[in-house]
Amino acid sequence: MTDLKQTALEIARETLAAIDIPATLRRKLARSDSRIRVNNADLDLAAFQRIFVISIGKASVAMARGITETLSPDFPASGIIVAPALDGSAPPGFRAMIAGHPLPDEGSFAAGRAILDLLATTGEHDLVFFLLSGGGSAMVEQPLDPRVTLREVQELNRTLVTCGASIDEINAVRKHLSAVKGGRLAVAAAAMKVTLGVTDVPEGQESALASGPTLPDPTTVRDACAVVGRYGLLAKLPTPFRLRFENPETIPETPKAANPAFARAKFQIVLGRHDLFHPAHRAAEAAEFVTMCDNTTDNWPVAKATDFLLEQLAALKRANPGKSVAVIADGEVSSPVTGNGVGGRNLAFVLDCVPKIAGRQIAVLSVGTDGIDGSSPAAGGVADGKTLARALAQGLDPADYFRRSDSYTFFQKLGDAVTTGPTGNNLRDLRILLAD
């Protein structure tokens, strides 16, 4: 393994270690005796009779551990954890539930019901921590109309995600049909509410996290109807939902900022985009690389993103002759599946770079911070200027593997797949480009 590849791996490892969720929660909440800090305001834990925790999403287990470590031993908490899988045991006093992602399943319905039942028992002298991370929209669900079936909700979700609508448009529809999304969990709890998020959603779009169960909903019934009309969805919707949109006056509006439920509610992102950039930037500079961060390429097609970021790297190198340089990028790239291979968008990003950096003193690494890239068991991959020659010597054609969406197999055969295992985190993808 060349020095540049090794350095890229070391920067990635340091970055992932720096965004450890339990440690971050302890640091951000800064508990001192009975007080914690939420959005620069003090909250006195001693003022509450009971403390509950609702932890939802891909990082739910790690977040629940973090909050219990922060509160213990003086302020014990109990509650519900909803996750796609359990990576270790849940804290004492918690009910752990496994639910579906990316489509809701029976576990999602059970979790939604359990959470609503628990919140119904809370009063004004209780405190509820809502811990939210990616995937929560699918993992916790309950339809507003109790007659709606799981199959109908799954059909609704399939229709929405395949119609070409943006995530904001999808959320506008499903928030208005759900008993747990779009601020309705906040309304369901009479307690003081503190929501802490680990999210890769852009700033200003926090209500997209888990479909905003504890935040005022900025969308309206009219917005939802516009989405259904814009994408010609009415005839495609399951009957109960079609009837609602044929008679939009029957769709209850989601709670807005003036709702009394939000008067005793706080929200804070504890891990976000900047928390990913900062440790990566520090690690690269500590390795004596002139470093810049770039978030321009979020949602770009993979080939356009690789061209842009490699040009950014080249420009930085031209501006700093004789020095090693680094570009740190985040976000997600678009890499449609065109074959039946094993891979993901991070591996595809690096694979697309292989011929573009051939023979050059460059290394490229891309990993998912959750430790899972697409259908592969890896977090991502790493390549340098010698990767193409090594691949061709083994009879591996990068273009063929890219065409078959088999990027994992390509890098696994070269020993350059980056495997971390599930990290319990869920920030944006991390890309590191280095040049000597």
* pLDDT value of position 313: 98
**From the centroid of its chain, how far is CA 155?**
23
* pLDDT value of position 247: 97
Q: Tokens for 275?
A: 């928390």
**pTM of the predicted protein model:** 0.83
* pLDDT value of position 387: 98
pLDDT in tens, the chain (436 residues): 359 999 999 999 999 999 889 999 999 999 999 999 998 899 999 999 999 999 999 899 999 999 999 999 999 999 999 999 886 678 889 999 999 988 999 999 999 999 999 999 999 999 999 999 988 999 999 999 999 999 999 999 999 989 999 889 999 999 999 999 999 999 999 999 999 999 867 667 888 899 999 999 999 999 999 999 999 999 999 999 999 999 999 999 999 999 999 999 999 999 987 888 999 999 999 999 999 999 899 889 999 999 999 999 999 999 999 999 999 999 889 888 889 999 999 999 999 999 999 999 999 999 999 899 999 999 999 999 999 999 999 999 999 999 999 999 999 999 999 999 888 787 889 999 999 9
* pLDDT value of position 88: 67
Domains of the chain and CATH, by start: 20-271 (3.40.50.10180), 274-435 (3.40.1480.10)
Distance between CA atoms of 373 and 405, rounded to whole angstroms? 12
Bridging pattern class, strands 50-56 and 126-133 = parallel
